[in-house]
Amino acid sequence: MATDNADVFRRIQPHEYFRRFIEQNVRPDGRQLHKFRKTTLNVGAISTANGSAMVRIGGTTVICGIKAEVAEPKISTPDEGFLDPAHVQAHSSYATQHAYISVPNVELSPICSPKFRSGPPSEQAQVASEFLNKIIKISKVLSLTDLCIEPSKAVWVLYADVLCLSYDGNVLDASLLALVSALLDPGIMSLPYPMANRAPSVSNSFPPLVQLPKVTYSEGIVRALADEPVTRLTLYRIPVSTTLSLLAKRLLSDPSDAEESLADEQVTVTIDERGRLCHIWKVGGGSNTATPDVLKECIQRARARYGDVKGMVERAFKERRVVFVASVGDETEMDT
Amino acid sequence: MDRKRIAGPELSVPPLFDKPQIVPQELAGEGRPDGRSPEDVRPIFLKTGLINQANGSAYIELGNTKLACAVYVLFFPTHCSSAFPRLITPPPRCSYGPRQNKKQTFSNMGLLNCEFKFASFSCSKRRGNQRDSQEKEYSQILSEALAPAVRLELFPKAMIDVFVTVLENDGTASCLAGAITAASVAIADAGLEMIDQVAAVSAVERSHHLVFPQRTQSFAKDQILMDATSAEEKLETGTLVVSYMPSANEVTHVLQTGETEGPVTVQAIEQCIDACSKIYTVMSAALVESLKEGERPRV
């Protein structure tokens, strides 16, 4: 009955249980400390969405579906859409004429884990939504000019709903990857794209990828032209996040649910395709281990992770479009 | 106003399409756009255990209709546990598990609490994040259709939670039928004792006068489309969802809406029962498959 004893030990002394594994440089699920769980990406599975992607990281499954609709900009800011005032100031050159709205929301419904109840979103879901919102808006992943239909009359709204179907930790990484992949997805309106063979017009931008029906605006009505080629959305950066947990004074990549709930501190590093940092988020403290060297190690692991994710995204979009055109490895900007 | 989600604009609409996306003539013709005969159901993919945090789960695809179902159950008092070997060891961090039914007064029977949700991107028109009246109605139907098959008398005072999320809706009636089928498999996957599996199938009834105005004779066969897609549903005059326990040969739930002739509905129910028996083989195969994989680690 050795397994039963281990099980009892894990439940009564979870910290000690994990510590003994980590001392041997291995985790209870058999992974080494720096290893990530098996990650898979599937794009374009949902035909009712304008773009969709499903990401699995180990036992965590999230689906992002994007619905594009048309709305009027706010009356007080007719040309500026729904961005935060601070943000509009920071990027006024983009925001003066046109605007788009993107509404990312993360849904941690009771289907994914016994931790969550039905009803309004939990705090964790709200935090995850805000995390995505910040990265998309402040890191300038999308250009504000691209999704304006008619200045001060009509703009696109992208409703990006990230739905967690199975929760086993590291939901931020999965959500961001699903959101970005869904934005890249050609979706149902896919038409022959000339983009694969064309060099990008702006050296540091990506070819336009996301489909939106081509629309015309007249007399207050936005009409979609079903036969016309679709308008495509340009992603200027492709951010990918990497979450690490500090547990028993060691750094664990891609924590599972059990590891997340025991961890002293957690770091989420988001970088783009050129290795530039988009966002760093560290929570927790008191374990006296998160030194600057440890944080540098986090960034290095995030870079290594980016290479793996990039390969996966390329495979998922294979023969559909070129995702990564800018050369990766402009490392000088962020040399540690 | 919802302050717990990132707010979009107060009002937004999908753009108007200049041309209708589906040509009605194609649908009003004799065949079906996907080449099926009227009594054929779409191919089904069914798999259990994809949601590893749940006690039981199932994922089903009916053509393009996709949905996921998870079941969270209580843990049994020791005198019951020998009957449910897969439930003896509860998940270690399951705070949810033994769920007391707080809403109702004392009940000798367990309560089957079903929650049905369309994902906001699952339908052609965007859905809200909060459950609307249709989703509440479907939740109710789900529990009505499943309750006769589950031995609820074994869990007095307790609740079983069944969550269904529709990921893609290609035929609203088929979503409901798929939800019943998937939930039944998920309950069995959780190891709960059942009298029989519940298979469900949907059918669309088209009015003879609406579809074939030029014909004088009634062709009941053409008026019933099994497992209709959302394109076919646009021409419906009535829908039918039948839930059926094939081994017990019992119908657990029938829901007919809209306007059809009596004989057409009677024939449609018979066709649905036949189709349910076919779906039953898929459900059994999925459950046998899940047992072959052996004892899954339930986190």
For residue B261, the domain's CATH number is 3.30.230.70
- What residues pair up with B57 in beta bridges, in sequence order? B70
Most confident of A212-216, B88-92, B138-142, B186-190: B138-142
Query: How many beta-carbon pairs under 8 angstroms link A with B?
Result: 169
A334 versus B66: which is more confidently predicted? B66
Tell me the residue type at A120.
P
**B139: helix, strand or coil:** helix
Q: pLDDT above 90 covers what percent of chain A?
A: 33
A177 versus B295: which is more confidently predicted? A177
| Within-domain flag for B137 | yes
In the predicted model, what is the mean pLDDT of chain B? 81
A255 versus B261: which is more confidently predicted? A255
Distance from CA of A37 to the nearest CA of B (A): 15
Over residues A111-135, the mean pLDDT reads 89
Convert chain B into a string of H (helix), E (strand) and C (coil). Answer: CCCCCCCCCCCEECCEECCCCCCHHHHHCCCCCCCCCCCCCCCEEEEECCCCCCCEEEEEEECCEEEEEEEECCCCCHHHHCCCHHHCCCCCCCCCCCCECCCCCCCCCCEEEEEEEECCCCCCCCCCCCCCHHHHHHHHHHHHHHCCCECHHHCCCEEEEEEEEEEECCCHHHHHHHHHHHHHHHHHHCCCCECCCCEEEEEEECCHHHHCCCCCCCCHHHHEEECCCHHHHCCCCEEEEEEEECCCCEEEEEEEEECCCHHHHHHHHHHHHHHHHHHHHHHHHHHHHHHHCCCCCCC
Total tally of structural domains belonging to chain B: 1
By Cβ distance, the residue of A120, A161, A165 closest to B51 is: A165
B21 versus A219: which is more confidently predicted? A219
Q: pLDDT above 90 covers what percent of chain B?
A: 45
The structural domains of chain A, with segments of one domain joined by +, span 33-334
Polymer length of chain B: 299
In the predicted model, what is the mean pLDDT of chain A? 75
Nearest CA in chain B to A119: B130
Most confident of A93-97, A314-318, B250-254: B250-254
Least-confidence region, from A137-146, A215-224, A277-286: A215-224
Q: Do A69 and B126 touch (CB under 8 A)?
A: yes
Nearest CA in chain B to A14: B92
Q: Do B50 and A105 touch (CB under 8 A)?
A: no
Over residues A253-261, the mean pLDDT reads 92
| Within-domain flag for B14 | no
Determine which of B167, B229, B233, B298 to mutate to test the interface with A (most A C-beta atoms within 10 Å): B167
Give the pLDDT of residue A115.
84
pLDDT tens digits, A16-50: 999 999 999 999 989 999 999 999 998 888 888 88
CATH superfamily of this structure's domain A33-334:
GHMP Kinase, N-terminal domain (3.30.230.70)
| Within-domain flag for B242 | yes
Q: Write down the ipTM of this complex.
A: 0.83
| Within-domain flag for B1 | no
Q: Do A224 and B13 touch (CB under 8 A)?
A: no
pLDDT tens digits, A201-240: 222 223 333 456 666 677 667 666 655 556 556 778 889 9
- What residues pair up with A101 in beta bridges, in sequence order? A157
Q: Do A226 and B17 touch (CB under 8 A)?
A: yes
Residue B222 structural domain:
35-78+105-290
B282 versus B77: which is more confidently predicted? B282
Q: Do A213 and B122 touch (CB under 8 A)?
A: no
